[in-house]
Structure 1
Amino acid sequence: MHITLGNPATAPQPLSPYYSQVARVQHADGSALLFLSGQIAEGATLAEQTQGVFETIDALLRAHGATLADVINIRTYLTDISKLDEYGAVRRKFLTGTPPTSMTFEVPKLFRPEAQVEVEVVAAVPAAG
């Protein structure tokens, strides 16, 4: 097993220099687990922010040879749980297959005061072949 931490040049860069966006746990058989840090995005509405978050997650996964179909776990932090349906409508556009395991939390605030949603995921990348 080999662990790599980093920020792919082909994806939006982190908002702070104090964390890595992706931890890749590479297994001897060629498969890997990707752990993505929580992602936030700009936008006036929750739907706009959610769209940006999933676009960033998609770019981070693709930089490691994965897709949104490889997501096995998702954790969502919302500042207003009453907007869960609005968030869910956008999420379903990106996660179209069998839903991954999931947890959703309501939190009083996030890293940036204007952020309404933060999402972190774990993806399983199969061995090539």
Structure 2
Amino acid sequence: MRITLDNPAAAPQPANGYYSQVARVELAGGGALLYLSGQVADGVGLAEQSRGVFETIDALLKAHGATLADVINIRTYLTDITRLPEYGAVRARYLTGTPPTSMTFEVSRLFRPEALIEIEVVAAVPAARGPE
């Protein structure tokens, strides 16, 4: 098994530089699993931040030959669970196929005080596709 840790140039770089945004685990027989660190985004409201997060996730996935359609698990951290429908409307525009497995948590705060949402995903990349 080979594991590659990466901060693709095509996506915003980690704020503090102390972590990798993507862990790529090569699978026997081809293909890979991508584990993405939790992502936050600038924005005034939850919908704007959610769109920014999905755009960053999309860029990270594309850097490794994957798309949002390859997401198999998503974990969402919201500072206000009552806003789940607002987030869900944005999510539905980005994850349009069969929904991935999912967990959603309400948290008292995130590492950036202005952040309302943080999302992490796992994606399965088919053997025919690799990093760009």
Secondary structure of the equivalent of 1:118? Answer: strand
Unaligned runs of 5+ in 2: none
Output one character per residue of 1:24-82: Cα deviation in whole Å (capped at 9) or x when no partner: 00123220000000000000100000000000000000000000000000000000000
Match of 1:81 in 2: 81
Output one character per residue of 1:79-108: Cα deviation in whole Å (capped at 9) or x when no partner: 000000000000000000000000000000
Moved over 3 A (4+): none
Unaligned runs of 5+ in 1: none
Amino acid paired to 1:13: Q
Q: Distance in 2 between matches of 1:117 and 1:7?
A: 21
Note the aligned Cα RMSD (angstroms).
0.9
| Mapping for residues 49-68 of structure 1, pairs under 5 Å | 49-68=49-68
Q: Which moved more, 1:46-55 or 1:6-15?
A: 6-15
Aligned: 1:13 with 2:29: no
Amino acid paired to 2:79: T
How many residue pairs get matched? 129
Match of 2:122 in 1: 122
Match of 2:48 in 1: 48
Match of 1:99 in 2: 99
User: Which TM-score applies when normalising by structure 2?
Assistant: 0.96
Amino acid paired to 2:65: G
Amino acid paired to 1:86: E
Secondary structure of the equivalent of 1:43? Answer: coil
Amino acid paired to 1:119: I
Secondary structure of the equivalent of 2:3? Answer: strand
